[in-house]
Amino acid sequence: MIEDKPSPSKVVIADGNNNLLGIGFMIGGMFMLALMDAVAKWLVEEDISPVQVLAVRSWIIVSIMMMVLFARNKIHLLKTKRPVAHAFRGSLGFLAPFCFFLALKQLPLADATVVFYCSTFILTALSALILNERVGIHRWGAVVAGFVGVLIAVKPQGDGELSAYLLVLCASFVYALLLLSGKRLAEQDSVISLVFSFNLMLGIISTLLLPLVWIPISWPIVGLLVLLSLLAVCGHYALTTAVSRAEISAVAPFEYTSLIWATLLGYLVWLEVPSLQVWFGAAIIISSGLYVLYRESLHRGVNWPG
């Protein structure tokens, strides 16, 4: 779930066929990221530290990015005018996947996915408070309703511990900060440089912490770590393709299909069934999130289909 997604700061002019293609990439990307979260949950339940998971994942992603950029003679895209800001962003961003993966050890996959959706509302609130962006009464109302949905999904505690829900909330808050800072940095630097610096700092920090948590791992575990890394790369590529080929308003709502995949994977692997209060909270959160997207599209002058 935790990925450094490209900021939808540009409106893409696309026809119906491109929109369908973009929707397909978005659904496929969300499936791969949900599957990545499922693999991460399996690993942490096997007592593999999230730090160890992130260390291996980050270095595989960084290596793949370097090889692809060298092969395409586009290594110059990694050049940045603000290396300190990139380093700080990546260091802070370490907390997002770390907290989320740690929470997965105690929470059902669908529950964690539902609560993480509040990053949309946190991002809207931070945009108004930090960037001084105009957020009208409609979007503020959707933000409040979204947080009510989160409280419903979390209280009563459902099938997990309250501390685990708080970890997911921390992950969603840091993730919103990542998107917000990425929006600023993307004004001067490429999206590729943002993704690379984020994963590079994740790799450096997790590697420094690795001696504290390292445990010997078997070859099947190594295979799962490689699979998780490849799912992260492919999922991010699919999301990038979706927002670059289709209209944001057409593909953004399909980000919520991750709940479908998380629920299916949780049931098939762990026999997890979300409680009624989680479904009720999810309905409020998703409805509020879609309304935020709708109001944002109106603000940018984007026409929604239909």
Q: Which of 135-144, 250-259, 290-299 has the lowest mean pLDDT?
A: 290-299
Flag the least confident range among 91-105, 235-249, 264-278: 235-249
Q: Are 182 and 89 in contact (CB under 8 A)?
A: yes
Are residues 54 and 232 in contact, defined by beta-carbon separation less than 8 angstroms? no
Whole-structure pTM value: 0.85
| Sequence letter at residue 11 | V
User: Which H or E element spans position 304?
Assistant: none
Question: Which amino acid is residue 95, in one-letter code?
Answer: L
For residues 161 and 108, give the distance between their C-alpha atoms in angstroms, rounded to a whole number.
10
CB count in 10 Å sphere of residue 50: 23
Stretch 144-169: mean pLDDT, rounded?
Answer: 79
> In sequence order, which residues have a C-beta less than 8 Å from that of residue 69 and are 6 or more positions away?
75, 77, 78, 192
**Mean pLDDT of the 147-176 span:** 81
pLDDT score, position 58 = 94
Task: Give CA separation, 280 vs 83, 152, 154, 276, 284, in Å.
Answer: 44, 7, 11, 6, 7
Residue 189, helix vs strand vs coil? coil
Q: What is the rounded CA–CA span in Å between residue 126 and residue 279?
A: 27
In whole numbers, what is the pLDDT of the chain averaged over residues?
A: 85
Q: Looking at the predicted structure, is the pLDDT value of residue 41 above 90?
A: yes
Of the ranges 27-31, 95-99, 290-294, which one carries the lowest mean pLDDT score?
290-294
Tokens 């992603």 -> residue: 61
Which residues have C-beta within 8 Å of that of residue 200, sequence separation ≥ 6?
Answer: 58, 62, 90
The whole-number pLDDT of residue 249 equals: 67
The encoded tokens of residue 131 equal 């960037």
pLDDT at 148 over 90: no
Mean pLDDT of 127-133: 76
Nearest C-alpha neighbor of 169 from the set 124, 121, 128, 118: 118
Q: How confident is the model at residue 66 (pLDDT cuts 50, 70, 90)?
A: very high
Looking at the predicted structure, is the pLDDT value of residue 125 above 90?
no
DSSP string of 156-178?
S-TTS-HHHHHHHHHHHHHHHHH
pLDDT value, residue 137: 83
Mean pLDDT throughout 129-143? 78
